[in-house]
């Protein structure tokens, strides 16, 4: 099951997980992009797309009964739904906090809570969260609320790892740096994209599939002994300690 799987990183996650047999349930608010998924998926998975607004508390609470009516086992829950609007602390309003934290943190928490009985029925339930380096490793002007929501995501992950371990359920996170999704590239523009690449030791923005590959790994049997951890996927962006460590002439 993939929350926020219609575009960008989420779509790449869906494409990866579609290589496994069984039901693959994709949830997203964007009905138009969801409809395009069928033609983009290759693999034995049986794709099921549902339009869901995770900010709708009642709808979110009813999801398990709506999707897994028979209380069936859920092997993987990947929570990728999220938003990253920019607003300074001075300009921010309570509604900004409610929107960003509501989607990035609160909805994540209650999605996991709702499907926990189904994850327990799996031979090895796995939860993977799409977090961020922002809030956990770095900060950025205008992203205080976003950073707080992603730090909250990592915080709940660690406590959940302890609670769920007795049931054989693992929960981990990925922390992307700058990913070359369509909205990010549009927001940066060619000049800022070039500047951003200079700050990344590997010299490029992440491709959505770079992130999806780690989600695929963390949800696989190969990661069965990993829980409560996060993987930084930033091409080395957070590593340099001195300006001399960055080659601005690339």
pLDDT at 244 over 80: no
What is residue 53's predicted lDDT score, i.e. its pLDDT? 94
Total number of domains constituting the chain: 1
What CATH number is associated with residue 141?
Answer: 3.40.50.720
The count of C-alpha atoms lying within 13 angstroms of the C-alpha of 117, restricted to the half-sphere facing its C-beta, is: 10
Q: What is the pLDDT of residue 193?
A: 94
Range of the domain at 85: 2-245
Q: Give the span between the Cα atoms of 45 and 127, in whole angstroms.
A: 19
Residue 250 lies in a domain: no
Average pLDDT over the chain, rounded to an integer: 95
Looking up tokens 């950073």 gives 147
Q: What is the pLDDT of residue 245?
A: 72
Q: Are 72 and 121 in contact (CB under 8 A)?
A: yes
Residue 147 and residue 189: Cα distance in Å, rounded?
A: 23
- Does a structural domain hold residue 56? yes
Look at residue 138 and tell me whether its pLDDT is greater than 70. yes
CA distance 164 to 176: 25
Percent of the chain topping pLDDT 90? 92
14, part of any domain: yes
Q: 109 pLDDT exceeds 90?
A: yes
Strand 170-176 relative to strand 2-3, pairing: unpaired
Is residue 147 in a domain?
Answer: yes
165 part of a folded domain: yes
In a domain, 114, yes or no: yes
Question: Could you tell me which residues come within 8 angstroms of residue 94 by beta carbon, excluding any fewer than 6 positions away?
Answer: none
135: phi > 0 → left, psi -120 to 50 → alpha, else beta; which? left
**What is the token pair recorded at 231?**
């993987």
Residue 88: per-residue pLDDT: 97
Instruction: Measure Cα distances from 167 to 160, 187, 249 in Å.
Output: 11, 43, 52
Catalytic residues: 146
Strand ranges (DSSP E) for the chain?
Answer: 2-3, 23-28, 46-51, 76-79, 126-130, 170-176, 230-233
Q: What is the mean pLDDT of residues 31-35?
A: 95
User: Is pLDDT at 250 greater than 60 in this prediction?
Assistant: no
**Where is average pLDDT lowest: 13-17, 71-75, 223-227, 245-249?**
245-249
């Amino acid at each position: 099951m993939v929350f926020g799987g219609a575009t960008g990183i989420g779509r790449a996650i869906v494409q990866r997980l579609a290589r496994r047999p069984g039901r693959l349930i994709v949830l997203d608010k964007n009905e138009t992009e969801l409809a395009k998924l069928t033609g983009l998926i290759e693999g034995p998975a049986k794709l099921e797309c549902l339009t869901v607004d995770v900010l709708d508390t009642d709808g979110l609470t009813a999801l398990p009964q709506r999707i897994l009516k028979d209380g069936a086992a859920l092997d993987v829950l990947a929570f990728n739904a999220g938003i990253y609007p920019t607003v300074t602390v001075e300009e921010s309003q309570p509604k900004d906090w409610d929107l960003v934290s509501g989607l990035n943190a609160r909805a994540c928490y209650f999605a996991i809570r709702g499907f926990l009985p189904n994850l327990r029925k799996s031979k090895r339930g796995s939860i993977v969260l799409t977090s961020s380096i922002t809030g956990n490793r770095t900060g950025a002007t205008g992203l205080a609320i976003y950073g707080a929501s992603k730090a909250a995501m990592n915080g709940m992950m660690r406590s959940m790892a302890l609670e769920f371990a007795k049931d054989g359920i693992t929960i981990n996170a990925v922390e992307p740096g700058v990913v070359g999704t369509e909205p990010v590239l549009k927001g940066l523009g060619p000049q800022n994209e070039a500047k951003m690449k200079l700050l990344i030791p590997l010299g490029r923005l992440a491709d959505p599939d770079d992130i999806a590959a780690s989600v695929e790994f963390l949800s696989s049997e190969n990661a069965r002994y990993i829980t409560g951890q996060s993987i930084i996927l930033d091409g080395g962006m957070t590593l340099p300690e001195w300006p001399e460590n960055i080659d601005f002439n690339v």
